[in-house]
Chains A and B, each alone.
Chain A
Amino acid sequence: MKLVLDRITVARDEWHCHADGTLHPGIHLVTGRVGSGKTTLARIISGVLNPSSGKIIREGISSSMLCQQFPEYHVTGATVAKEAESYGVAAEKAMEIAGLSGLGEEDPFRLSRGELRRFQIACLELRDWDLIVFDEPFSALDCQEKQRVSRRISLLSSRIVIVFTHEQRYLPRTDFLWEMRDGVLQFLGTVPQALPYWETAPGHVRMLLENGIIPANLTEEDLREGLCRMQG
C-alpha cells in the first residue's frame, strides 16, 4: 500500500505549492508556516480538490478519509447517533470513546467544538480506512484531550496517516517527517534521524537538539525522557 504524489502543483494567482513523494504506511507528520498550503495539500491528497497539475497514485488504497480543520464541517446527521451512522460506525462505541455516552439523541451542533472534534476522531478511528488525512486534528482541544488524541493517532500506524499540524507540544509517535518550505513539500526523513533538519521544530525540540540530545520520537514521553538526559 502506498500513496504517490507525482509532481503535484497547485497555483492560484501568485501563490503556488508543489508536492512530490511517496508515502508508505505509518504516521507522517507535515508541518509548515501559516499559508504554506497544508490545508490545500490535505484536500488534494484526500481527493476533495484537484491539483493544477500532476497526479496522485493510490496503490492498494481502497478507502480514505479527511479529518477537516473545523469539526462542524463534517456534520451531516441530525443527531449524534445519526452522525455516527453516517460514518458507518456503531454510535454507542463512538460516543463511549469520545466520552459522550448517552448523548445519542443530542443535536451535534449543541456539542462544544471540542466535543464534536473528539466525537469525529472517534468515528474515524472505528473504521478501517487505508488512508486518513488529519488537518489540524488538535484544534479546539484542551491539553488533556490533545494528549489523548495524539496517543490514539499513534495507534493507527498500520495505515497511511498524514497529520498536518501547527501543534507544538502534543504530537503523535511519528514515523516520517515532512515540512512545507517556500511552497514545496520536503521529505526530511524518518524520525528521529530527520529531527536535526526540521526548520519549524517546536521550541523544546530545538532546545534538546541544540544540547546535542536527539529524542527517540515526538511524543510527550519521548521528549520528557530527552529532557531528563539533558539534565543528567
Chain B
Amino acid sequence: MQDARLRLFSVLLLSVASFISTLGAILALIWLFLYPAYLKAALLSKAYYLLLPFTGIVALIMQISGGDGLSYFIRMGVLLLIGFTIFRGWAPGEFLDLSVWLLGRRRGFDLGLAIEITIQGIDEATRDWSRILTTMKLKGMHPDIRNMASVGFLMIHLRLLRARDQADLLTTRGYKSGGSCCPDFQASNRDIIASLCTILILFISFAAVRDIFILMM
C-alpha cells in the first residue's frame, strides 16, 4: 500500500476492529494477507515473538481467572501483527509527508521530523544490537545480565552521540521550526478498495459486539 494516508486510515480501523472483537481480529488477519510481503516480514520479526509471550501470559491468567483468555490472545496477537506489518511497510519520509499533510508545514513538519528521527533511532538500535551481539560472540563474551547492562548503556550512549550529530546537522542546515515539504501520495485502485474493506471489517466487528450485548441483556 503506497499511500501513507490510506495506510494510517486502515491501521486505525483494523486496530479498533481487532481490539473490540475476536471476529474483527480474524477479519483483520485475513485483510493482512492482501499484502503478503509485509506480513511475511512482520512474521519474521524477532521482536514480534519477543512481545507475543507477554500477551500469552496475560491471556493465560485471564483464562484461569474465568475470563476469555483465548479471545484476548487472538485480539492482542493480531493487533501486534497489524502494528509490525504496517511498520515493515513504512518507507523513510512517509511520516513527515503524512504529518505535514495533516497538520501543515509548521507543527506538522516538527511532529513528522520527530517521528522520523524516532523511527530511524529504532532501526539504528536494531542494527546496533545485532552488531554488539556479533562483537560479543567474537570476543567470547556471553550475553549474561551483567554484560546486558553494559550493552544497554552502550546502546543509549550510541543513541545520544547520534542525536548530538543530528542536532548539529539540523542547526547547520538552519532548522529552527517548521520546514518546506510537499507531500506526494500515490494511491492505486487496489489500495483504495482495500482501505474501504477496513470500514466493513470495523462495522462487522461492532455488529458482533452489539449482538453479544443483546444476548447478555
Contacts and interface: CB of A to CB of B under 8 A. Distances in A.
Contacts of B139: 76, 86-88
A19 interface: no
B136 A76 contact: yes
Nearest to B134: A48
Interface of B: 131-132, 134-141, 147, 150-151, 153-154, 157-158, 161
B135 A109 contact: no
Nearest to B127: A73
Contacts of A73: 131, 134-135
A99 interface: no
A150 B138 CA distance: 23
Interface of A: 46-48, 65-66, 68, 73-78, 86-88, 107, 109
A76 B139 CA distance: 10
Contacts of B135: 68, 73-76
B161 A109 contact: yes
Contacts of A66: 138
Contacts of A74: 135, 138
Given A76-B154, A78-B153, A78-B154, A86 B131 contact: no
A66 B161 CA distance: 25
Contacts of A48: 134, 137-138
A23 B5 CA distance: 56
B125 to A, nearest CB: 14
A194 B27 CA distance: 65
B168 to A, nearest CB: 15
Q: Which 9 A-B pairs have the closest CB atoms?
A: A73-B131, A48-B134, A74-B135, A86-B139, A66-B138, A76-B135, A109-B161, A65-B138, A76-B136
A88 B140 CA distance: 10
User: Most chain-A Cβ atoms within 10 A of its Cβ — which of B132, B135, B140?
Assistant: B135
Interface residues of B, dominant DSSP: helix
B153 A86 contact: no
Contacts of B153: 78
Contacts of B141: 76, 86
Contacts of A68: 135
A120 to B, nearest CB: 11
12 contacts: A46-B138, A68-B135, A74-B135, A74-B138, A75-B154, A76-B132, A76-B141, A76-B151, A77-B150, A78-B153, A86-B141, A87-B139
B173 to A, nearest CB: 24
A18 B157 CA distance: 39
Given A73-B135, A75-B154, A109-B161, 19 more contacts: A48-B134, A48-B137, A65-B138, A66-B138, A73-B134, A74-B135, A76-B132, A76-B139, A76-B150, A76-B154, A77-B150, A78-B150, A78-B153, A78-B154, A78-B157, A88-B139, A88-B140, A109-B157, A109-B158
Contacts of B147: 76
B68 to A, nearest CB: 43
Contacts of B134: 48, 73
Nearest to B131: A73
A47 B161 CA distance: 30
A73 B135 CA distance: 7
Contacts of B138: 46, 48, 65-66, 74
Nearest to B139: A86
Contacts of A65: 138
A87 B136 CA distance: 10
A47 B139 CA distance: 12
B160 to A, nearest CB: 10
A48 B132 CA distance: 12
Contacts of B131: 73
User: Most chain-B Cβ atoms within 10 A of its Cβ — which of A48, A76, A88, A109?
Assistant: A76
Contacts of A107: 157
A126 to B, nearest CB: 13
A64 to B, nearest CB: 8
A53 B112 CA distance: 44
A63 to B, nearest CB: 8
B142 to A, nearest CB: 12
A203 B67 CA distance: 76
